[in-house]
Structure 1
């Protein structure tokens, strides 16, 4: 397999890269980080494309009147976007499983201190109420413990993590709202499209900020091991 650090081919029975000396553990961790980063980028790309497509529907709705508006046609046009958001949720779930594996490794490789035990890397996402605030705190602790940060840098890390989690919650809530809004009147149709655009934007921003955290944590831990 190729080394994730220098690109040299490493035999499977060798634990270290003959060119740069990278350990297999570092190679594997970086490979998982790259996979998570790419999947998040794909999720962001799909969400961004959905948002741009929905924006194009705003102009016809703003030009329509109560006499020319056809709810049947509008419902037929907007129906596929509900499926798109469902597909985005499935893709996010698949990405999340790989992300949990990466975060489990990153937690174990960060020196600490941590406010939560390692088991919360898994239980923090499925425990009711706790899953609203435990995941961002875990990511923040792993990030700041993976390197040396000044106070202002810690605040910047906290802002990125808070922004990521806020957009995650907003994206999930707005996507569910988009699925249940009606288009019986022109006002409802305009509101529904605006909600869909906001949901897509939140999902794209959440994926982009998560990409930043995955990239930085992976880079810091590999640099520290080196």
Structure 2
């Protein structure tokens, strides 16, 4: 197996020294770097191969309800994406100020650590009952005209929460769709912080 791996690295032109044994994102990428609003970020994986999860994200079982396994799709018209697509989004849409990676968790969770480049828009703030909901939708690029919205200049969004056992991002996706936010401008990262941590990916404290 090891010899086959070395042969593969040689065939595609990657180094076969000890550095090639590092915990990479993909075969051809050690890390991903981007800048958002003048802040520089790098996403990489923890290099300690004996590292294990601790705390909340080490749990395998939570009471259901409320922590039930969520469907793969938040709604039938919003695409679900994975970690590499989140990084692609950060390097392109977010870096060009054309989109936002939205952490939909409550501030207490967000402050414990989030995905680099994410901004906190708690799912509760997108509910009909929030008197400032329209202000938040407007900050995302929506333009209210009477009782209707114009989303032609709206930002592209990727929404996530704590992972496959968390309802907050799906609720936020549905709230945005209810107000008319275009499905093609929303993506759902179902893996969330649970899977992000399980892959040893970089996090930041805001």
Q: What band does the TM-score fall into relative to the shorter chain?
A: under 0.3
Taking structure 1 as the reference length, the TM-score comes to 0.21
Task: Please state which structure has a larger fraction of its residues in strand.
Answer: 2
| Higher relative contact order, chain-length normalized (CA < 8 Å, sep 6+) | 1
Q: TM-score, normalised by structure 2?
A: 0.23
More helix per residue: 1 or 2? Answer: 1
Larger Rg: 1
